[in-house]
Structure 1
């Protein structure tokens, strides 16, 4: 199945880019994000799928995965839940492939998989406020004119390639833009990329209508790969620079370096910034359901800076995930800035208990821990859990777990943690003990 999936990906890539793409191209380190797709394709074709109002779906780790659509609607709204389970993923090659489809709304979906909408040639509008990652060629060749990606952090290989009507893209949280992501978007004239960006892979904006681009790279931490910006790529793979292409950015950064090395005009967005050093008490903070604003210590050249001399801006600091802190100097520190990140992880399980009411068994109960996707419960006869016996609970709404075949009369140590939909885990709970009947 995996070999078949890979051959499908290669065929699709040849169709959406103006040059051939070899297997060697696909398996370079530059396209790691885009290649991890065989599991997605298999997920969309495995057994155990069910039907709901024209949608094909299955359950995965307590959530609903939409794997296909066979209805005739032009305007589609993907349900937020099915049978009480959240719809969090849309996956499967050509899961939505009808040329009739004009718009898609997916209010609860957090991930769009590989090639999912690539067959929707007339798709003109998409609403996806919670999507965090977009898979390979997910919307390639569609009729999209404007795209808002408020939560997206990763845009995979060729995700919007050859969307020739696409003129506007908003992506305030994006961290990685993979190879060929917007290649061939000939009507894309203006793009502003936020300071959250960490990597732009090669040919990401090749053959676009861009004549300039602005990148808010603060300290040269952005990786900009060859031909990522300002190039046209021919059918034979030839590379031609776009005449008069301009790059706006901060001086002394990788943005300026890319412009200089490729012979593009570099325009400074502001004076060269001096760097603040930011220190947090902890780089991981528990989810609270409210905006998290950890205290920071700001120093400049080894000396602490008073709070009155700078402003602090927190971003993406409510839900679990990577949050950012931007510090901007004032007064005599007006040319100073600082930037750092921290992780918001699920809160540890606190309200839980364990008991043994039946021979050889231990039952663990707890209260739902938002934003849980799954729970991990560990049992051990040793305090250091060196002989741990794990038990996974994939249904986030389930609040009990019973472990059987344990040793009667033996004292067991028990602890648990919680995992969110993106794989971020909480700290372990406090350890409790129980003697098995």
Structure 2
């Protein structure tokens, strides 16, 4: 009798051990071992619903769709972030959620023009799912020192206050703000522009001195207006140009208005007036 009880106890223990051995492999594999990838992690807005394809792997092995279910977030048409939930089944259990984004449409720069110490540009207007545009410009081709700023729903802009006579790289992209988060399009193709240099007097003191001496009698209402006109003479392609014999300064003469400007070798306006003898004064320099 005692032997029978012992045999029964051993049998029950054996059944428990075998049950544990066979049940654990069939039970769930850890979801952390499962890798989920989407065919596309981002889309450009088209107004149509986006539905990326799903691939699920466990330790590098591709799982059959029989081992999981896929649930997409509703909508998936407007700019924003959307979830894709994968729920494992069969000998796997657990779930994973991955995300994809829909970004606003891309734009392209249509035209860019040099301005005085700046540039103007216009671009293709995007009409839907848009908050505005972001413009970036830099002196470096890789945009390592870029300046960026945001503007509203327009399709042209003038950037001012840059270094005159310098080359700049420029690009633009759209953005849409959804629930406090900005979503961006891809950057446009890069355009280049060389800003127009503006010539100035070396200091306000010299500007005032020459304005009082010449500018007022020339009819300019302010020293700033006088200085700007002098710079325009230098930049005018119709102005005659020569190097001064005495000290190598640059002389400019616009015969149509009898305007004469001298620019120092380091790029500052030295004087601006209208000589009584006209072009002969320029010729003597």
TM-score (norm. length: structure 2): 0.48
Give 1 or 2: higher helix fraction.
Answer: 2
Greater gyration radius: 2
Larger RCO of the pair (alpha carbons < 8 Å, separation 6+): 2
TM-score (norm. length: structure 1): 0.33
